[in-house]
């Protein structure tokens, strides 16, 4: 057993494909400058490339009329009580307050005026938010994820998306983390158990057909 690769071990048990449904939304998860500013505590090199790769994905979604939802993280700057235990476990998240330049959206993927922005306090975009209700009301059955970080907010959102009844697609080039090991491990796990990990070009091709 110890000599098996992960792919061999999972073969035939995990890894079924779920595919796209009838109507998709693109979720742009937490593309904030704290992750792309070198020297910042949250800086993640993998997110720098993910932002660059996501420009084309975002443009494609907008061009064909796919719903786009952005998320960010916001806390009360005085006491951070709305961050609960998470900000105690990860005090680095205290940079995510209004007015901190590190909490601003990355310029390359700024939300447009007609696009919903959901502010969250925890990893999943669905936890404590109206996201699931809003998407269901629009008849959306598929969520396509771009953003950061792969091992944190992307994974948590992917797990919750399945639990809320959505087909879940993660775009490989458009998600990133601070180290390649957790990035790859979480993409493997998401692709095996919770959704499909696909290339950017595959995602764009699906957008063009919807």
Catalytic positions: 153
d(Cα 68, Cα 206) in Å, to the nearest integer? 15
Backbone angles phi, psi at 195, to 5 degrees: -170, -160
Nearest to 160 by CA among 204, 210, 118, 109: 118
Q: What is the largest CA-CA distance in the chain?
A: 53
Helix (H) or strand (E) holding 182: helix 180-193
Burial class (CB in 10 A: 0-12, 13-18, 19+), 151: buried
């Amino acid at each position: 057993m110890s000599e098996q690769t992960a792919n061999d071990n999972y073969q035939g048990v995990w890894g079924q494909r779920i595919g796209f449904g009838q109507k998709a939304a693109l979720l742009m998860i937490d593309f904030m400058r704290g992750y792309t500013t070198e020297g910042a505590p949250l800086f993640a090199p993998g997110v720098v490339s993910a932002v660059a790769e996501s420009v084309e994905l975002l443009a494609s979604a907008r061009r064909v009329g796919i719903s786009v939802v952005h998320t960010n993280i916001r806390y009360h700057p005085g006491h951070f009580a709305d961050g609960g235990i998470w900000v105690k476990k990860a005090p680095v998240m205290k940079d995510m307050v209004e007015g901190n330049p590190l909490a601003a959206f990355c310029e390359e993927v700024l939300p447009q005026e007609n696009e919903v922005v959901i502010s969250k306090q925890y990893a999943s975009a669905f936890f404590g938010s109206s996201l699931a209700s809003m998407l269901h009301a629009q008849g959306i059955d598929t969520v396509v994820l771009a953003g950061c970080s792969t091992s944190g907010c992307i994974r948590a959102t992917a797990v919750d998306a399945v639990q809320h009844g959505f087909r879940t697609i993660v775009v490989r080039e458009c998600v990133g983390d601070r180290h390649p090991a957790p990035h790859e491990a979480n993409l493997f796990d998401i692709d095996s158990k919770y959704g499909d990990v696909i290339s950017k070009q595959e995602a764009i091709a699906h957008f063009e057909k919807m």
